[in-house]
Structure 1
Amino acid sequence: MGKSRRNKDENDSNFSQKKERVDENTINYYRRVTETLNEGFSTDEDRELFLDNVFNQLEEDGPKVCRLASTSRVLEKLIQDAQDKNILQLLKAFSQDWIVLLSDRFGSHVLQKLICQIPRCLSKNSNEDDTEDETIYTYFLNLCNFLKDNICDARTDMYASHILRVVLQVLGGVNVGEQVVRSRLSRNQDKDGQDEINVDDFSPSDKFKKVLLKFTKLILSSDTLNMEICNPTNNPLIQTVLLVLHRVNDHKCQKYLKKLICIPGLFDSNTESLPVITKDEVGSFMVEQILNLGSEEFYTELYKKLFKGKLLLYAVHPVSNFILQRLITNVKEKEHFEEIFGELCGYLEDMLAVNHLGVVTRLAEACHRLGCNQEKLLRSLKAAFHCLEPVERETKVAPLLLSLTTYEIYYDMADSEEKKEKTDKEPAKKIPVLTDINYHGSMLVQHLLKFGNPKQMVTSLLELKPVELKNLSCNPCGSHVVDAFFQSKTIGEKSREAFVFRIKGQYIDIACNKNGSRTLEMIWKHVNTSQKIAIATELGKQEHKLRGDRFGLFVHKNFGIFQFVHRRKDWEESQSASLKKRKLFEEILGVDSSGNKKKKSSSKAVDNPLKLEGQYIDIACNKNGSRTLEMIWKHVNTSQKIAIATELGKQEHKLRGDRFGLFVHKNFGIFQFVHRRKDWEESQSASLKKRKLFEEILGVDSSGNKKKKSSSKAVDNPLKLEDSDDEEEPKTKKPVLYKRKLGYEQTIPGSKKQSNEYQLKDKKMKHLLDEVTGKKKKK
């Protein structure tokens, strides 16, 4: 049976050939290579010499060896650490017969890994006279030509199509592997026992871009495109083409998208049924990708053609509901969302009944993102979970949403008892305890907590029992609800204090839990000192248990429980100091305690860097602090620089001894400041003049933002740009603007105005550099 299956696989592709037999000695040689690599080398020279010997051997038997399961993994590992000359050796060996590897199960993975190294080789040395780069470049184009000549077989072959996808990414200089929409099973199969195939981003040559456009035309102009879109082998290939084209030339990408939705038979529909492609398990992935890549104008056109008036059909269909989720995720205009929400909000209970919870979650996310229909959504959710009436039930909305069960099921009410709701009081029942948290329920509550007025959700959460809040904090899904509660901008300090008070007595259980310990550390960051003392007091009473637990040990260390118990005064001082530092960094970086950006907060810190006095050495010797201090250095005047350098110069030895402080010592010129003060002042003055000159020419301010009409001033002053014979650019009409997926406007690449402007700046920059460096133009 195994033999017949193998014969069937070999005949699937027109490429496939019989494997050559490899002797046992060769296989043992590569096993020893693996052992040597695992053992490591004493010096880099030994490693380089060893790799050279192995790749010399691979020139002879590489095409045979890479097709074996046992040795192909060895080759992949070798390629990852190979030098440019080694990559060249393998390309030369494989180029003798590309067809051998293209459709082989194991050889195709080796070839993919090899192609992924090409951007690294080409971008390392930009010198056009480099023969190695030129040869690697030539061999890669040779492979591209072979694939173009055999495109019909390559795109239908299971393994060759993967190589074609990697080649397209290299031609475009982008990595889009994770953006291809596919099933969860397919994603898991790639991760199971396989290294990820990633292409490094780089700037491709014009020749690469031309080849990419040829491939695009061949793949997207096929006569059988309507069948290929629904094919599991061709669909990811077409998605890859569109994703690469979207990054390289979005204007052409939009044209091809419009062409795709006009394919007869796939996107045709009537008022009572959905298009064929939206109901297909594979074809639906393409519709999702089209929604991701389409411009705002295209989104409107597609909505009217495929979705308008049929959203409920999409919502209840087992396949099409995922397309509806993507539609809601990509909506950017409030008007569009109002129309979508109005069509769906009355049917939330129907979506929950068919277990299509993702649609409801996407609606909540869009309501939060666009800031509309928030009260309507909450009211519709309460109606769907049967807690809208009577009013007493509204406070139970949080446990119902978290467990995704209706009021009657959660409280185990019989039908006869349900009829008595309209009379006096509901019969007394044993109140259940919230233990199980649903993933979609957790996501739903997280979005609701970020609404403009989350008062009802906050009240409902705070009415949960302490044990239920503990279960929520220790649950993998529920712990993120607690994160959202403390990080929400619309939830006040009093509500947070009430939450901390409610879980009193549960801290030790939360701290000794995998998810709970992380949640407790997040809570610690958002509470004041008095609340920290209350938490530390409770944890300190069971310090032995806390230190004995593998998760509690981190809490014990990060909260300073030992210091709190035995040296209380030192603990209070350290907490006060860390709080000041944190607030200072937040002010400098322009963020609040939740990590969200503040408006115009960073400028205040820059205007008054003396607030950091006494802290410069600690900031300079920190990974993030050193970067922050360099940013501050760029925005302060000379007197403030002297104040900073004076403090750093007093501890120059410590600064030079730290790996992060060393960069600050070098970039700030601290050695020169301490030993040759006059030279330091002259260099600072010169660098300031140069910087202002560059800013004036480039038309930007000190923060890198564009000035209005600043570039024209630079042109009007020819003394700064000697020998510039460029005439002033005539006024032309503004080029057409189009909106990309992310919602911002961009000038169409290649427009006349854009090309002239950049050309003008490049010439002036060259003259400026000649003037500043004292170099004269050689005739």
Structure 2
Amino acid sequence: MGISIKYGYGCHTISGLTNHASFLRTCDFDDRLSTDRRQADSGEALPSRGRRVHNFIEEYLMGEEDQLHKHDRRKNGLSRKHQKKGYGMDSGKSDNNAFDQWGGKSHEYMKKADVSLSQPSIVRKQVDPETAKYFNEIANLFESNAVELEERSVICGNALEETRGKEYELATDYIISHTLQTLLEACDVDNLCGFLKSCMKVFPFISMDRSGSHVAETALKSLAVHLDDEEAYSSIEDSLNLICEVIVTNPVDILCNCYSSHVLRRLMCLCKGVSLDSPEFHGTKSSAILAGRLNLGSSQANMNDKQIHRKPFPHLLKSLVSRMLKCSRTDIKTLIVDQYSSLVIQTALKLLAGDEELFKIIPILLGCKKENIKEENFIQMDDVRDVLNLVKETSYSHLMEVIIEVSPESLYNTLFHKIFRNSLYDIASHQCGSFVVQAIVSNARSQEHMDVIWEELGTKFRDLLLMGRSGVVASLLAASHKLSTHEHKCCQALIAALHSENESQTCIVPRMLFLDSYFCSHNPAEWKCPVGVKMHVMGSLILQAFFRYRNEFIQPLITSITSMETNQVLEAARDAAGTHVIEAFLESNASWKQKRKLIVKLQGHFGVISMHSSGSFIVEKCFTASNPSMKEIIVSELSSVRNELSKTKHGPHLLRKLNVYGYAERPEQWKKKLESKQSVYKEFYSIFGSGEATSHRDDSLAVNTSKKKRKSTDMKQLRKEIDQSLTSATPFLSLKRPGDRVTDGSRKKSKSKKG
């Protein structure tokens, strides 16, 4: 059975799926000029094939983070857009004049006036009906699944040959663009590179079109698939080099376009050898970014520690970014406040993290007159005033965050002292500027930086919380813990911000869990915990950060959380933010006696709590922190609901981890196994501890502490190894032989030992 496609100058047949190599149109058709396609190829249009019109995802990837995350950020006090009503702050001010400091018009004004950047005109030709029918037949052929994999590439190559000279018209056609995407995904690398080289002159215009941008992006995705092919590497490099050359001829239009800006980001990621679909290049919510900072991990923007998945083209990336900014230097004032170009530049900075090229790029983004960053006073007073005004603008505040995160130490030090010093509180008081201050604090490099930060912000905790700038407070806590400085002062400042001297300290944790509700109260002294209200995410993050502090600093917080009413503890155990606080407390350095006060309030409710996915983590942490008698109580409660719990997504893991089925079948054997494990733990700590041990009461596990604090991750790994070894036939400590050398955290086996 064959498919016959007839045209005015000839006939081509696809028959038996064996003669596809000759499937090539030899006819030429007259193109008709049209500024707008008003037909839908009546009756012969390509059927709907799940067009990627997920506007939510498109805008998410194309720089609409603020709009997409507006809802979540507003609830957590994270939105960078001013709200008409807020507590403790005049939210009615407009920042449209921020850009006026540069002598130009604000981005908001440009959008309202519908002012577009200069763009060369290009006449779009209409796709003639016979060409449309040709690609419609190909689309139907692929949809019928009648083409085998090895012949699919041949058909794609032949079809792409037919696009020569008509790439712009076909790629920007709403219907045919889908077919082009399918062809580009299935063709070989030679035809792919051939298509890109053929459409090079119109590639920017294709990228700036709603439909064409998907075609351009698909072509780049397909190139990435072939990067591991050594034979294709040079062809891919040539194609990318041509794309870069055509982009730098007029980069401003491409940077500021909502469609082409995303294509440009994917191109840069391709040159780096990473995927644009990685989490760090999505519009990550500010709450997620701050959570990462509080975990004291590496910078979100640092790409040096990330695995490069494919063979990169670093020289093309540096050349593209450097030349784009140099060619756009006269328009840099527009680029840094434009929503889309700002996102492109942020991506470029993340990809170039750790590279010397940053010393050339960042001064341009700061508006510095001097290009050499090593020159004395390369940042002038005019530059400082401009930056301080612009950090209160949404797009530039995003950009400045990334600049701070990727800046080498010497450059960060210059930015800190020359621009932001003596202005931290003023910037932090602003909705957008507060995010910049969070980045400054989180990336502090020395105690000197922390001294300045504390001097300007340390006494302003209550004011910052009252204005809804809890993220600044959380960042300061994390930086203090990371650099081991001002920890005690931070604890005292938070306690003072949440309660007065004549109030009991028991109110601290509840007020932090309902931060917005407390500070919005007309009479804070008579405030009570609301019922059925979601707990404050930022308040939860702050408490989690505090429970990582040394035990002597957080006694008021420990007293507060252990004094909570049973119903308050149960409500926190059912809330996503509250569960993290309870977990952080159970993992803290608080004593077993203090932890037991909280655990007994959950007694009788462990079965119900375990049915919630977040609550199951609390049950597991309670089991780990408990003594043998309390462990048995927890498992017995889970045993009564094991059938229902096994049907949940998280239930099987919890049942297996606590060996609930083993307890239900043979409780006495379960107890003996638990006693054996406890014995091994004690023996382990007696070997690896410092000898300055103190045993908890109620026969709980004797935990040895040393003056030199161990890293929690190392201890978790050691406990995991013990648990794994206990499940094997050979006891953990029996593996040690007389000739082995025992070290802290590792055991070196003798060379003569086998197996």
Cα distance in structure 2, aligned partners of 1:220 and 1:583: 65
Of the candidates 631, 639, 652, which is equivalent to residue 540 of structure 1?
A: 639
Corresponding residue number in structure 1 for 2:515: 404
Task: Work out whether residues 512 and 552 of structure 1, in 8 Å CA contact, stay in contact via their aligned partners in 2.
Answer: yes
1:389 aligns with 2:505: no
What amino acid is the match of 1:389?
E
Asked whether the equivalents of residues 351 and 357 of structure 1 are also in contact (C-alpha less than 8 Å), the reply is yes
Describe the shift of the 1:107–1:632 C-alpha distance in structure 2 as closer, same or farther (beyond 3 A): farther
> Which runs of structure 2 are paired with 1:685-764 in the superposition (5 Å)?
none
Give how far 1:637 is off.
4.7
Q: Deviations over 1:4-49 (max 9, x none)?
A: 99xx999974365426436564564465466456x9x9xxxx4233
Name the TM-score, length of structure 2 as normaliser.
0.65
Distance 1:18 1:345, change over 3 A: same
Offset from partner CA, 1:625-664 (integer Å, 9 cap, x none): xxxxxx999x755421xx20xxxxxxxxxxxxxxxxxxxx
Deviation track 1:260-309 (CA, whole Å, cap 9, x = no partner) reads 43536998569999722112222222222221122222222212222222
Amino acid at match of 1:441: G
Question: In structure 1, how many angstroms separate the alpha carbons of the residues matched to 2:470 and 2:234?
Answer: 54
User: Which of 203, 221, 226 is the aligned partner of 1:121?
Assistant: 226
Contact 2:514 2:536 in 1 (8 A): yes
* Equivalent AA in structure 2 for residue 356 of structure 1: R
Amino acid at match of 2:161: E
Is 2:331 the partner of 1:224?
Answer: yes
Question: Residue deviations 1:352-388, cap 9 Å, x none?
Answer: 2222221111122222222222222222222222x23
**Residue identity (%):** 21
Structure 1 89/314 Cα, relative in aligned 2: closer, same or farther at 3 Å? same
Q: Residues 435 and 318 (structure 1 numbering): CA distance in 2 closer, same or farther, change over 3 Å?
A: closer
Q: Which of 127, 137, 141 matches 1:21?
A: 127
Unaligned runs of 5+ in 1: 188-197, 419-428, 618-630, 645-779
Quick one: structure 1 residues 521 and 85, their matched pair in 2 at CA, closer, same or farther if it must change by over 3 Å?
Answer: farther
Q: Which residue of structure 1 aligns with residue 616 of structure 2?
A: 517
The aligned runs of 1:451-470 (5 Å cut-off) are 451-453=549-551, 454-470=554-570
1:125-136 pair list within 5 angstroms: 125=230, 130=231, 132-136=232-236
Output the CA distance in 1 between the equivalents of 2:437 and 2:650. Answer: 41
Q: How far, CA to CA, are the matches of 1:406 and 1:379 in structure 2?
A: 22
Q: Deviations over 1:73-120 (max 9, x none)?
A: 565566556654553454355447535523221222222232244344
- Root mean square deviation, CA, Å: 4.8
Structure 1 residue identity aligned to 2:335: E
Alignment check: 8 A CA contact 2:197 2:239 kept: yes
Distance 1:350 1:611, change over 3 A: closer
Aligned to 2:161: 59
Letter in 1 for 2:574: C
Contact kept? 1:13, 1:157, Cα under 8 Å: no
Q: Pairwise mapping of residues 514-593 of structure 1 onto structure 2 (< 5 A)? A: 514-543=613-642, 546=645, 555-556=654-655, 558-572=657-671
AA at the equivalent of 2:541: M
User: Displacement, 1:226?
Assistant: 2.4
Maintained 8 Å contact 1:395/1:459: yes
1:82-121 map, 5 Å: 83-85=188-190, 87-88=192-193, 90-91=195-196, 94-95=199-200, 97-99=202-204, 101-121=206-226
Deviation of residue 329 (structure 1)? 1.0
Alignment pair present for 1:596 and 2:712: yes
- 1:357 partner letter: S
Stretch of structure 1 that moved more, 349-358 or 133-142: 133-142
Please give the alpha-carbon distance, in whole angstroms, between the structure 1 residues aligned to 2:711 and 2:450.
28
1: distance between equivalents of 2:656 and 2:566?
Answer: 25
1: CA distance, partners of 2:120 / 2:674: 70
Equivalent pair of 1:30/1:71 in contact (CA under 8 Å): no
Query: Aligned residue for 1:676?
Result: none
Comparing 442-451 with 257-266, which one deviates more in the overlay? 257-266
8 A Cα contact 2:127 2:170, kept in partner: no
- Tell me the equivalent position of 1:138: 238
Gaps of 5+ in 2: 1-35, 39-110, 289-305, 371-378, 690-702, 705-709, 733-744
Q: In 2, distance between residues paired with 1:359 and 1:481?
A: 19
Conserved in 1, the CA contact under 8 Å of 2:206 and 2:216? yes
Sort the Cα spacing of 1:153 and 1:399 in 2 relative to 1 into closer, same or farther, 3 A: closer
Cα displacement (A) at 1:398: 0.8
8 Å Cα contact 1:466-1:506 kept in structure 2: no
Match 1:282 to one of 390, 395, 410 = 395
> In structure 2, what residue type is equivalent to 1:596?
S
Q: Select which of 328, 332, 343 maps to 2:441.
A: 328
C-alpha separation between the residues in 2 aligned to 1:582 and 1:272? 60
Is 2:255–2:335's contact at 8 Å kept on the other side of the alignment? no
Cα deviation for residue 327 of structure 1 reads 0.8
**Quick one: which amino acid aligns to residue 511 of structure 2?**
L
**Cα gap change, 1:307 to 1:431, in 2 (>3 Å):** closer
The 1:142/1:339 distance shift into structure 2, 3 A limit, reads closer
Equivalent AA in structure 2 for residue 49 of structure 1: E
Judge which range, 48-57 or 282-291, deviates more. Answer: 48-57
Distance in 1 between residues matched to 2:212 and 2:308, nearest whole Å? 21
Contact kept in structure 1, 2:404 and 2:439, CA below 8 Å: yes
CA distance in 1, matches of 2:280, 2:542: 24
Q: Give deviations 1:668-701, integer Å, cap 9, x for gaps.
A: xxxxxxxxxxxxxxxxxxxxxxxxxxxxxxxxxx
Counterpart amino acid of residue 332 in structure 2: L
Amino acid at match of 1:137: E
SS state of the match for residue 210, structure 2? Answer: coil
Between the two structures, name the one with larger relative contact order (CA 8 Å, sep ≥ 6).
2
Amino acid at match of 2:207: L
Tell me the TM-score normalized by structure 1: 0.63
Residue identity matched to 2:605: Q
For 2:149, give the aligned amino acid.
R
SS at match of 1:440: helix
Name the residue aligned to 2:345.
238
Tell me the distance in 2 between the aligned counterparts of 1:22 and 1:581. 80
Distance in 2 of aligned mates of 1:550 and 1:611: 27
1:162 aligns with 2:269: no
Looking at structure 2, the residues matched to 308 and 36 of structure 1 have their Cα atoms a distance apart, in angstroms, of 66
CA distance in structure 2 between the aligned counterparts of 1:204 and 1:584, rounded to whole angstroms: 51
**Helix, strand or coil for the counterpart of 2:339?**
coil
Instruction: Spell out, residue by residue over 1:498-525, the C-alpha distance to the aligned partner (whole angstroms, 9 max, x if none).
Output: 3322210111221122321233234334
Distance of 2:443 and 2:363 partners within structure 1: 17
Change (3 A) 1:99 1:260: closer
Matched residue SS, 1:263: coil
Contact preservation (8 Å) 1:15, 1:153: no
Moved more, 110-119 or 223-232: 110-119
Cα 1:313–1:430 shift into 2, 3 Å: closer
Which amino acid is the alignment partner of residue 573 of structure 2?
S
For residues 381 and 184 of structure 1, do their structure 2 counterparts lie closer, same or farther at Cα, with a shift above 3 Å needed? Answer: closer
Mean alpha-carbon deviation: is it higher for 322-331 or for 63-72? 63-72
1:293/1:11 CA distance change after superposition, 3 Å = closer
Quote the residue 1:495 is aligned against.
Answer: 594
Q: 1:212 aligns with which of 304, 310, 318?
A: 318
Q: 1:611 to 1:77 in 2, by over 3 A?
A: same
Equivalents in 2 of 1:535, 1:475: separation in Å? 20
